[in-house]
Amino acid sequence: MNTTQRSESINSFFDSFVDSTTTLKQFVVRYEKALDSRREKERREDFESRHKSRILRIGSKMEHHGALVYTKTIFNLFQDELVKSNQFIKEKVSKDGSCYEYKVSSCFDSRDSFVVRIDLSSKVGTCQCNLFEFKGILCRHILAIFHIKNVVEIPKHFILKRWTKEGNKGNGVFENKPSVEDDHEKSATARCLHVCRFINQLSSFAEKSEEQYKVIVGDLDQIFKKVLSMEEDNNSSQKQISEVNHDALENQQNHSDPPLLLNIGDPHISQTKGRKKGGRGESQNSRFKSGLEIALAHGTVKKRTCHGCGGYGHNKRSCKGKEKSTNTPTFGNTEEEV
């Protein structure tokens, strides 16, 4: 949902309760009614989520588990991903202990090809497509890997509380409040999100003043070097790679640019309303012609001629040759202009 869609949906939500003639007193009453109807709708969806059974399309354990934990709407999205996860080719790129890296490519769409990194002992993983980071639903690529690795339930850290049937019970914000001690040490995704949040906050400070920007970039530079040297110490097998990174860092410093810390993907493209600009075909894109235009094109309507001079394309009033030729006799096919 983008911002325009959100404001439009709120507008249309209130449209049925409030209009331009509503007085302030009426507004208070109708506003309550509007909220009541929204609460009623939520209760109804709650009820359906809890008591109506889902239609399973695959019948796998994974699908059962999704039906058990997710609300109706989220389950439908999850099910779509699960069904599509069958159409992928999985190529192992690398393996390091229980950590695997796979290239997962669609049989039908060459653009739908992403790299999945996964630690099978903790079942923590990320996918290049970032669907989980954007929507909180496991993507078809990770699900495809889970399938071949016999992971038959959705791992706990991939189930967001807000998408579960219990999501609107209690105060999720405080219950889910991340603490460094437990969560971030376990889940790579949670660690990644935590750091992203930090960097986001820092970037807003950097926007405010040049001094703050310099402090932030300077310290981040230190952190970056520290982390890189840790990588080198811990991981001698990947020594070459980190040296390449180090070179890249030094190159960047030579150009006095701040080091690039975040790898930000393209946002999801949402469908806009209305007819597309440019397009599929001339016939769809051009407007409908009026009856007169069609008739003119086929030559079935007589062109109007000037009563004054007998010429085409103007009438007697706008005739330039008016004064000279007021007495010119009219022609047989001439029509009277009004």
- Pick between residue 105 and residue 242 the one whose CB is nearest to Zn ion: 105
**Is residue 127 close enough to count as binding Zn ion by CB under 5 A?**
yes
CB of 246 to Zn ion, least distance (A): 30
Tell me phi and psi for residue 152, to 5 degrees: -105, -5
Subset of residues 278 to 337 that bind Zn ion, contact rule: CB under 5 A: 306, 308-309, 311, 319
- Pick between residue 16 and residue 326 the one whose CB is nearest to Zn ion: 326
CB of 312 to Zn ion, least distance (A): 9
Distance CA 281, CA 119 (A): 49
Helix axes 210-234, 188-208, angle to 10 degrees: 150
| Angle at 30 (CA atoms; ends 28, 35), nearest 5 degrees | 100
Residue 154 token pair: 């959705």
**Is residue 139 close enough to count as binding Zn ion by CB under 5 A?**
yes
- Pick between residue 165 and residue 314 the one whose CB is nearest to Zn ion: 314
Distance CA 242, CA 96 (A): 17
Judge residue 17's burial from the number of C-beta atoms within 10 Å of its C-beta, 0-12 exposed, 13-18 middle, 19 or more buried.
Answer: middle
CB of 299 to Zn ion, least distance (A): 22
Task: Give the total of residues touching Zn ion (CB under 5 A).
Answer: 10
Q: To the nearest 10°, the Cα dihedral for 319, 321, 322, 327?
A: -130
Select the residue interacting with Zn ion from 74, 118, 129, 159 (CB under 5 A). Answer: 129
- Pick between residue 214 and residue 322 the one whose CB is nearest to Zn ion: 322
Distance CA 185, CA 169 (A): 27
**Is residue 141 close enough to count as binding Zn ion by CB under 5 A?**
yes
- Pick between residue 112 and residue 221 the one whose CB is nearest to Zn ion: 112
- Pick between residue 123 and residue 141 the one whose CB is nearest to Zn ion: 141
CB of 59 to Zn ion, least distance (A): 23
CB of 142 to Zn ion, least distance (A): 6
CB of 86 to Zn ion, least distance (A): 14
Single out the segment in contact with Zn ion by CB under 5 A; choices: 16-24, 91-99, 106-114, 265-273: 106-114
Judge residue 247's burial from the number of C-beta atoms within 10 Å of its C-beta, 0-12 exposed, 13-18 middle, 19 or more buried.
Answer: exposed
**DSSP-based three-state secondary structure for 94:** strand
Q: Quote the distance between the C-alpha of residue 334 and its chain's center.
A: 63
Place of tokens 């469908």: 271
Single out the segment in contact with Zn ion by CB under 5 A; choices: 9-17, 93-101, 133-141, 296-304: 133-141
**Is residue 143 close enough to count as binding Zn ion by CB under 5 A?**
no
- Pick between residue 188 and residue 249 the one whose CB is nearest to Zn ion: 188
- Pick between residue 218 and residue 311 the one whose CB is nearest to Zn ion: 311
Distance CA 109, CA 107 (A): 6
Distance CA 198, CA 194 (A): 6
CB of 116 to Zn ion, least distance (A): 6
8 A C-beta contact, residue 184 and residue 121: no
CB of 177 to Zn ion, least distance (A): 28
Applying CB under 5 A, which residues contact Zn ion? 114, 127, 129, 139, 141, 306, 308-309, 311, 319
